[in-house]
């Protein structure tokens, strides 16, 4: 759980708005290419346009290029499903434009642009600052990706780690210490 100040919550809200706008613009580019030319636009094609975007729309890149790549990867996953449905003959349906109320999270696909300090209980997000974070457990590996999500008026962070030791599941019917059963 994150505990941002009022200013930080405002900046996080602007981050969500900017990434939603990027998602919708990239979606429009892909839809147009598919409708008019039956041409696929890859996420790498769109990654390359981010460098030119800095001159035209610096507000979109104020939080760094990594979060923009996370947004474009999210769009790519939606289009992968669309192309898969096209190939199987199902009703494909283009991915949808995202309204403000439907866009509630942003992701960083690598650790550039954010840093978690477990000891100080702080999460640094580029363009937002140091956020207080309440951790419910210690990280079990090396932090790799992060997702910040707005849930009503609350903010949450999910950190995915690499190098986490696997714990075997108990056999079926065995009593588990986790469930108390």
* pLDDT tens for each residue of the chain, 181 residues long: 999 999 999 999 999 999 999 999 999 998 899 889 988 888 899 999 998 888 898 888 889 999 999 999 999 998 888 888 888 888 878 789 999 888 999 999 998 999 999 999 999 999 999 999 998 888 888 889 999 999 999 999 999 988 887 777 777 776 655 555 4
Report if residue 171 sits inside a domain. no
- Full residue range of the structural domain in which residue 124 is found: 1-161
Classify 137 as helix, strand or coil. Answer: coil
C-alpha 74/C-alpha 68 separation (Å) is 10
Query: pTM for this one?
Result: 0.84
Nearest to 54 by CA among 62, 43, 46: 62
Residues 50, 54, 58, 61, CA torsion sign: positive
Residue 178 lies in a domain: no
Number of domains composing the chain: 1
Strand arrangement of the beta sheet that strand 114-117 belongs to: 105-108, 142-151, 154-162, 2-3, 129-133, 122-125, 114-117
């Amino acid at each position: 759980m994150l505990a941002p100040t009022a200013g930080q919550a405002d900046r996080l809200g602007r981050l969500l708005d900017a990434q939603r706008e990027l998602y919708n613009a990239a979606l429009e580019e892909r839809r147009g290419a598919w409708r008019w030319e039956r041409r696929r636009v890859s996420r790498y094609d769109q990654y390359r346009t981010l460098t030119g975007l800095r001159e035209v729309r610096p507000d979109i890149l104020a939080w760094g290029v990594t979060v923009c790549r996370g947004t474009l990867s999210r769009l790519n996953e939606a289009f992968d499903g669309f192309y898969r449905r096209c190939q199987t003959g199902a009703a494909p349906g283009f991915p949808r434009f995202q309204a403000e109320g439907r866009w509630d999270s942003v992701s960083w696909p690598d650790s550039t642009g954010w840093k978690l300090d477990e000891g100080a209980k702080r999460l640094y997000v580029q363009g937002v600052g140091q956020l207080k974070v309440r951790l419910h457990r210690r990280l079990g590996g090396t932090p790799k990706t992060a997702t910040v999500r707005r849930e009503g008026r609350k903010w949450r962070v999910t950190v995915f780690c690499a190098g986490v030791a696997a714990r075997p599941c108990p056999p079926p019917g065995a009593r588990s210490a986790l469930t108390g059963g």
